[in-house]
Amino acid sequence: MPLQPQNMKKNCPEDFKNFTAEIKVASPGRINLIGEHTDYNNGFVMPSAIDKKIYFEMAKNDTDNLARIYSETFDTYVEWDLANIKKSENSWENYLLGVIDEINKLGKTFSGLNCIINSELPIGAGISSSAALECGFAGGLNELFGLGLSKMDIVKLSQRAENNFVGSNCGIMDQFASVMSKKDHFIKLDCDSLTSTFIPAKLNNYKLLLINTNVSHNLADSEYNTRRQECEDAVAVIQKEYPEVSSLRQVSFEMLQEFKGKIAPVPFKRCRYVLEENKRVTATEKALKNDDLAAAGKLMYASHRGLQHDYEVSCKELDFLVDFSEDKEYIHGSRMMGGGFGGCTINLIEADKIEAYFAEVKSAYTKAFDREPSQIIVVPDEGTIVTKLQ
Ligand code: GAF
């Protein structure tokens, strides 16, 4: 088979979709009940995979190094030379190319493959279609070619793909949730030790409703990296007096207070937010274990206000949705979710009020922003599922 040009795009060959898949992968998006911007500060998070996924059908082909990929979602067909991986202008491709690059770096090799990808995850909604792409593809390659990677290997290499190849300095939460989740549970993940516990998501007559602002402000990436840097710079100041401190995780409120004049006011309030948010995750764990959804909801509101005023990663559209929910007695909690600057709010709402509430908030939001929001009702679900078909 002649070598194909790198990242060649052409029309999908007529017969391509007829290949017989050897494996199928269902790779979920994720929600995060609480614990935002804490993962890269080695703190606590409480995410879960959801019942909305990206599906992969994969099979080996008869080439040594040709990946033939068709995205049904974008109706785009691409071919890559596996021995010569380069960045693409098409952002969705880079999550997959990054995975190949990281597998190559591990010294593991594989041959040509065909793959069809189908997504039910909205892009830019903050439910991590990126981690679903990375982890699903990595899980599929692992099974197809017997690469011998553990689930944790897949989580970490997918995160590295995003850090090194895509160029986003994300933490580990999204990939961990996408792979490791258990149906009807949240995960309390300690991002320092990477130990986790499952917490039953006993929501009774409540449901998790995501409301998508349908905006994705383009400062999200740069501001994300700035927040991370601000926290790391503050840790460097603290380290001068406390050399044992390697992240905000080892910093107590009392210790932080000692640095009030030494850390500038803006990074200081970022750090305070992170310490408070870590406390809120632990308090939410307790509330859920006590079946106290009202207490968990209050912590969600407090998380949002911290993200809005101290961490400053919200936006007017997200704030509008949270404000709108706050006086509704059938909504326990609401907050922005994910990196911020757009995407979704997550709402803990009485199931039979969802329809009327969404109609009301949709009309108000559309009037305010001349743009319609959309809703997604989600259920905590199992992490990546790889099924062998033959
Ligand atoms: C994004 C990142 F990918 C996560 O690692 C996390 O930091 C999150 O933003 C904020 O909590 O989803």
Tens digits of residue pLDDT in 293-352:
999 999 999 999 999 999 999 999 999 999 999 999 999 999 999 999 999 999 999 999
Burial class (CB in 10 A: 0-12, 13-18, 19+), 388: exposed
Query: What is the structure's pLDDT at 1?
Result: 34
Ligand 1, residues 30, 37, 225, 311: which to mutate, most atoms within 8 A of Cβ?
Answer: 37
d(CA 247, CA 164): 21
Cα 358 to ligand 1 centroid, rounded to whole Å: 26
Cα 37 to ligand 1 centroid, rounded to whole Å: 6
Query: What is the structure's pLDDT at 218?
Result: 72
Query: What is the structure's pLDDT at 176?
Result: 98
Q: Whose CA is nearest to atom 9 of ligand 1?
A: 339
Query: What is the structure's pLDDT at 7?
Result: 66
Q: How confident is the model at residue 10 (pLDDT cuts 50, 70, 90)?
A: confident
Name the residue with higher pLDDT: 123 or 24.
24
Q: How confident is the model at residue 79 (pLDDT cuts 50, 70, 90)?
A: very high
d(CA 56, CA 2): 26
Query: What is the structure's pLDDT at 259?
Result: 98
* pLDDT at position 221 over 90: no
Greatest C-alpha distance within the chain: 67
Tens digits of residue pLDDT in 262-296:
999 999 999 999 999 999 999 999 999 999 999 99
- Give the chain's domains with CATH numbers: 9-199+381-388 (3.30.230.10), 206-378 (3.30.70.890)
Mean pLDDT of 159-186: 96
Q: Is-catalytic flag, 327?
A: no
**What ligand 1 atom has the least distance to the C-alpha of 35?**
11
Cα 271 to ligand 1 centroid, rounded to whole Å: 16
Query: What is the structure's pLDDT at 333?
Result: 98
Q: How confident is the model at residue 6 (pLDDT cuts 50, 70, 90)?
A: low
d(CA 69, CA 98): 15
Q: Ligand 1: residues whose CB is within 6 Å?
A: 36-37, 39-40, 128, 170-171, 173-174, 338-339
Query: What is the structure's pLDDT at 2?
Result: 36
Side-chain half-sphere of 17: how many Cα atoms within 13 Å? 11
Q: Whose CA is nearest to atom 3 of ligand 1?
A: 170
**What ligand 1 atom has the least distance to the C-alpha of 173?**
5
Two tokens, residue 367: 């009037």
Please tell me what DSSP assigns to residue 80: E
8 Å CB contact between 38 and 155: no
Cα 169 to ligand 1 centroid, rounded to whole Å: 9
Backbone angles phi, psi at 116, to 5 degrees: -115, 130
Q: Are strands 23-32 and 47-60 parallel, antiparallel or unpaired?
A: antiparallel
| Helix-helix angle 293-309:265-289, to 10 degrees | 170
d(CA 68, CA 187): 35
Place of tokens 């391509």: 16
Q: Which residue type sits at 360?
A: E
Query: What is the structure's pLDDT at 4?
Result: 44
d(CA 337, CA 315): 12
**Over pLDDT 90: what percentage of the chain?**
90
8 Å CB contact between 343 and 213: yes
DSSP for 138-200? HHHHHHHHT----HHHHHHHHHHIIIIII-----SHHHHHHHH--TTEEEEEETTTTEEEEEE
How high does pLDDT run on average in the chain? 95
Mean pLDDT of 57-86: 94
Q: How confident is the model at residue 193 (pLDDT cuts 50, 70, 90)?
A: very high
Among the listed residues 39, 81, 101, 174, the single catalytic one is 174
Cα 85 to ligand 1 centroid, rounded to whole Å: 26
